[in-house]
Amino acid sequence: MKKIEIKNITRFLYIPVIIFFVALFFNVNNILSQKAFILTDNKIIPIKYEKNKLLSEILKENNIRLNPDDLISADLSQPVKADSKIKITRVKITKGKEKTETAFRPIWRKTYATNLRKVELQKGVVKTTKRESVNTYHDNVLKSVVYNKENTVSKTFYRLLLLDKRGNIEKTFDLSKAKRMKMIATAYYPGDPLAWRDGTITFLGQKMQRGIVAVDPKVIPLRTRLYISGYGYGYAGDTGSAIIGNRIDLGVNNAAEEKSWMHREVIVYILDKSKTY
């Protein structure tokens, strides 16, 4: 009787032992199959979970390097939890320079129609702003822009507008950017006895009138549009035997006006070349 009881008791002891080993097997298998995930550089990198292994060690083993400004969603000095998702955000910081310019704002203007065609002289202001920026990108997407230096300069200058018969703007010249020449001016008029063909027809075969000027073609090419200080719009359409070097002969209306221009220093602005004035 005792032998049977011992045998039965022993048989029942096998059951918890089997259960223990089965549970241990599944637990170990579950631990071994557990993973964590690192999200970086548009990739999801699965990593094997190992209890108590620090995140810094895991990154090193997987050849994942952090740049000084990168962001990470977990503590490098702590172990990684199973099934956790760790996000690494790549941060890039660049410096930039920006330049903005306001539209030309006229503060004075005057229209002239005495020299060949209608023109408008304008005096105006343009403001130029330069600033430096620090641009922060998260995974190549612009996250923020911080401006740390800004400088605004106002520039006042003249510009000349060529107008058509209806008064519409045909062309605009920034006189601050045009080539400038200091020249000595004289003048002549239609019917001037000292002028070629009495000053009625120019070297280019055009009718002599106010706005036509004689130049040395070696200095200012013929068919060049000009602006002359104090005189206005001009067109290089004539030459003269005495007009050599930095000399310019201005077409005026009559002998009285001619006298006022004798040997005056002027600034000549070179605008552009054109077949017509």
Between CA 79 and CA 99 the distance in angstroms is 49
Instruction: Decide if domain 178-273 falls under CATH 3.40.50.920.
Output: no
The segment(s) of the chain belonging to CATH 2.40.40.10 are 178-273
Q: Are strands 264-273 and 224-228 parallel, antiparallel or unpaired?
A: antiparallel
Question: How many helical (H) and strand (E) elements, i.e. helices and strands, does the chain have?
Answer: 3, 15
**123: β partners:** 108, 158
**What pLDDT is recorded for position 8?**
53
Single-letter amino acid, residue 50: E
The segment(s) of the chain belonging to CATH 3.10.20.30 are 2-92
Between CA 170 and CA 258 the distance in angstroms is 31
Mean residue pLDDT of the chain comes to 88
Q: From the CB of residue 92, how many other CB atoms can be counted at a distance below 10 Å?
A: 15
Residues of the chain with pLDDT under 50: 12, 17-32
* Topology of domain 2-92, CATH: Ubiquitin-like (UB roll) (3.10.20)
**What pLDDT is recorded for position 15?**
52
**What pLDDT is recorded for position 200?**
87
Residue % of the chain over a pLDDT of 70: 88
Q: Which residues of 216-247 are buried (b: 16+ CB within 10 A; e: fewer)?
A: beebbebbbbbbbbebbbbbbbbbbeebeeeb
**What pLDDT is recorded for position 29?**
42
Radius of gyration of the chain (CA): 44
Between CA 106 and CA 104 the distance in angstroms is 6
**What pLDDT is recorded for position 49?**
82
Single-letter amino acid, residue 224: T
Q: Concatenate the DSSP letters of all residues of 86-143 into one string.
A: EEEE-EEEEEEEEEEEPPPEEEEEEEE-SSSS-EEEEEEEEEEEEEEEEEEEETTEEE
Full-model pTM: 0.69
**What pLDDT is recorded for position 22?**
42
Between CA 233 and CA 210 the distance in angstroms is 9
Strand blocks (E) in 189-253:
212-215, 224-228, 232-238, 247-251
